[in-house]
């Protein structure tokens, strides 16, 4: 884990989301599903974001501007400073035989990096509209379903499911695929185990999601 002050390279709108590309500096991108705390200096406190792409000289993050922190990040322009801390948490186990990536809404964010690392397996993505579904272009080999259809209605059997999305989607997947690896969310203040702001119950025990997760096996 390192903290670095870096520079924004690009900010591209994709449907309602923003793909923010950042100079990578000396940061290690971590494994798919790990995250960084991103801070627009002087504006708001850091917010957790998954790595969307990792290239030799850049990291990219796909951000949904839903509140003050994410909006401040989405307002950054090329040349602006951005602070990154990470990589943090635990990502997906990659030793799976028949991967199927499943994403819902902004849960698509970590899937491009996961797809590259797994050799571009099939993906099933759910969105609430065509506009939101523009983000599906970032994930190779993706089938898209739009509401009112849910990914759980289109889910083929026989795959190792690796998923990220809204909590109701993850709960429904957990019921259908008990051994799915699911990336969960909780509000995070520090990102590295110091504040207990992200505590969630896992198998009856209170755990810090930033340390134990964000990816947890459902079983
Ligand atoms: C490990 C991890 C990885 C993430 N990766 C991404 C990503 O790649 N792209 C992306 O756009 N977002 C991602 N998020 C979610 C993102 O961090 C939050 O949307 C952001 O912190 C909200 O901050 P805000 O100030 O914009 O909105 P706030 O005003 O803080 O929140 C707006 C609303 O969302 C709720 N909320 C805020 N944070 C969370 C959360 N973490 N879980 C559930 N509800 C929340 C609040 O209760 C409030 O109702 C990730 C979260 C985690 C924990
Ligand atoms: S965010 Fe501080 S302990 Fe997890």
Does a structural domain hold residue 39? Answer: yes
Cβ-in-10-Å burial (0-12, 13-18, 19+) of 175 comes to exposed
**83 to each of 23, 144, 171, 191, how far by Cα in Å?**
11, 34, 33, 14
Note the pLDDT tens digit of each residue in 89-137: 999 999 999 999 999 999 999 999 999 999 999 999 999 999 999 999 9
Does a structural domain hold residue 72? Answer: yes
Does a structural domain hold residue 15? Answer: yes
Does a structural domain hold residue 150? Answer: no
Number of domains in the chain: 1
Does a structural domain hold residue 186? Answer: no
Cα(210)–Cα(64) distance, rounded to whole angstroms?
A: 20
The reply to whether ligand 2 has any atom less than 6 angstroms from the CB of 196 is yes
Considering the chain, what percentage of its residues have pLDDT values greater than 70? 99
Note the pLDDT tens digit of each residue in 139-154: 999 999 999 999 999 9
Cα(44)–Cα(63) distance, rounded to whole angstroms?
A: 15
The mean per-residue pLDDT over the stretch 5-23 comes to: 98
**Ligand 1 midpoint to CA 189 (Å):** 11
Does a structural domain hold residue 94? Answer: no
The reply to whether ligand 2 has any atom less than 6 angstroms from the CB of 210 is yes
Ligand 1 pocket, Cβ-based, cut-off 6 angstroms: 35, 47-50, 61-64, 66-70, 106, 109, 185-188, 214
**Ligand 1 midpoint to CA 98 (Å):** 30
**Ligand 1 midpoint to CA 188 (Å):** 8
Does a structural domain hold residue 37? Answer: yes
The mean per-residue pLDDT over the stretch 186-213 comes to: 94
The mean per-residue pLDDT over the stretch 191-216 comes to: 94
The reply to whether ligand 2 has any atom less than 6 angstroms from the CB of 214 is no
CB 101 within 8 A of CB 119: no
Q: Sorting pLDDT into bands at 50, 70 and 90, what band is 218?
A: low
Does a structural domain hold residue 67? Answer: yes
CATH of the domain at 36: 2.40.30.10
Residue at token pair 């602006």 = 80
Cα(89)–Cα(132) distance, rounded to whole angstroms?
A: 27
Cα(190)–Cα(140) distance, rounded to whole angstroms?
A: 33
**Ligand 2 midpoint to CA 207 (Å):** 10
Which structural domain range is residue 52 located in? 2-87
Q: Sorting pLDDT into bands at 50, 70 and 90, what band is 196?
A: very high
């Amino acid at each position: 884990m390192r903290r670095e002050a870096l520079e924004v390279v690009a900010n591209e709108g994709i449907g309602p989301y923003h793909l923010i590309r950042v100079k990578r500096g000396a940061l290690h991108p971590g494994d798919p599903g790990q995250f960084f705390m991103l801070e627009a200096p002087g504006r708001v406190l850091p917010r957790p974001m998954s790595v969307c792409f990792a290239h030799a000289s850049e990291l990219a993050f796909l951000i949904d501007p839903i509140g003050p922190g994410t909006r401040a990040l989405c307002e950054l322009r090329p040349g602006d400073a951005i602070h990154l801390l990470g990589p943090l948490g635990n990502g997906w186990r990659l030793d799976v035989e028949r991967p199927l990536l499943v994403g819902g809404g902004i849960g698509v964010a970590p899937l491009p990096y996961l797809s590259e690392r797994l050799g571009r397996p099939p993906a099933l993505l759910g969105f609430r509209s065509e506009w939101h579904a523009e983000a599906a272009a970032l994930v190779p080999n993706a089938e898209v379903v739009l509401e009112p259809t849910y990914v759980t209605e289109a889910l083929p059997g026989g795959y190792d499911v690796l998923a990220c999305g809204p909590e109701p989607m993850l709960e429904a997947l957990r019921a259908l695929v008990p051994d799915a690896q699911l990336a969960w969310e909780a509000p995070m203040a520090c990102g590295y185990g110091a504040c207990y702001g992200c505590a969630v119950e896992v198998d009856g025990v209170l755990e810090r999601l930033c340390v134990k997760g964000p990816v947890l096996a459902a079983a």
